[in-house]
Amino acid sequence: MATFDKATAIQPAADGTFAVELDPEWTIGGRPHGGYLLAVLGRAALAATPDHPHPLSASAVYASSPNVGPATVSVEVIRRGRLASQVRARLAQDGKVLIEATFVIGALDPAAEVLFTDAPVPAVAPIEECTRMSTDPLGNGFRIAMLDTVAQRIDPASFANGTGDLRGWLGFDDGTPFDVSSLLYVADSFPPPTLALGSVGWVPTLSLSVYLRAIPAPGPLRMRQRARVLTGGFVDIMCEAWDSRDRIVLQATQLAAVRMA
What's the pLDDT at 106? 97
Is it the case that residue 93 has pLDDT exceeding 80?
Answer: yes
What's the chain's average pLDDT?
94
Cα 114-242-9 angle, rounded to 5 deg: 110
pLDDT band of residue 138 (cuts 50, 70, 90) is: low
Higher-confidence residue: 70 or 136?
70
Q: Are 168 and 157 in contact (CB under 8 A)?
A: no
Beta strands in the chain (DSSP E): 11-12, 18-22, 27-28, 31-32, 54-62, 69-79, 85-93, 96-106, 131-132, 150-154, 165-172, 199-200, 205-212, 221-231, 234-242, 248-257, 259-260
What DSSP state is assigned to residue 186?
A: H
pLDDT, mean of residues 12-18? 93
pLDDT digits (tens, 9 = 90+) for 38-52: 999 999 999 999 999
The pTM for the full model equals: 0.95
What structural domains and CATH numbers belong to the chain? Answer: 4-106 (2.40.160.210), 127-260 (2.40.160.210)
pLDDT, mean of residues 138-151? 86
What's the pLDDT at 2? 74
pLDDT, mean of residues 141-159? 90
pLDDT band of residue 141 (cuts 50, 70, 90) is: confident
What's the pLDDT at 111? 87
pLDDT band of residue 60 (cuts 50, 70, 90) is: very high
